[in-house]
Amino acid sequence: MKILELPGLAEGGDIVEFVDERDSHETEAIRSEIETLAAKEPFIGVADLIGGPATRRLSEVKREKVRWFLRGKIPRGKMTIIAGDGGLGKSFVTMDLAARATSGRRGSDRGAPSDEVALP
């Protein structure tokens, strides 16, 4: 994706107004003008634009030591998904984990209370 600043547009203007304001409404001339503008601009990944997930090769990922909230089950500071059919106790387990995190009682790993707990 590339973001182009189209010359001659009023603030808030868009591509329709850009095309309408061209002396030549010939499709190829307009396309050539836009392609020339685009060639000068860098490529922007969608993830960079919207703050979404970034992809990288596994060979570029540096190994790091895992700190556990609940040893071998829930890594500390990472996303964890608790999934299952309704009525199995997912909400109960989630609330128990939040209570443990905020009171310093961490499953099998002891530690100081956390001041950050994110629940959906």
Three-state SS string over 46-82 comes to HHHHHCCCCCCCHHHCCCCCCCEEECCCEECCCCCCC
pTM listed for this prediction: 0.40
pLDDT by residue for the chain (120 residues), tens only, comes to 788 888 888 888 888 888 888 876 688 888 888 899 999 998 887 777 777 777 778 998 889 899 888 888 888 888 888 999 999 999 988 888 888 878 876 564 555 555 556 665
**CA 37, 38, 39, 45 torsion-angle sign:** positive
- Confidence (pLDDT) at 40: 92
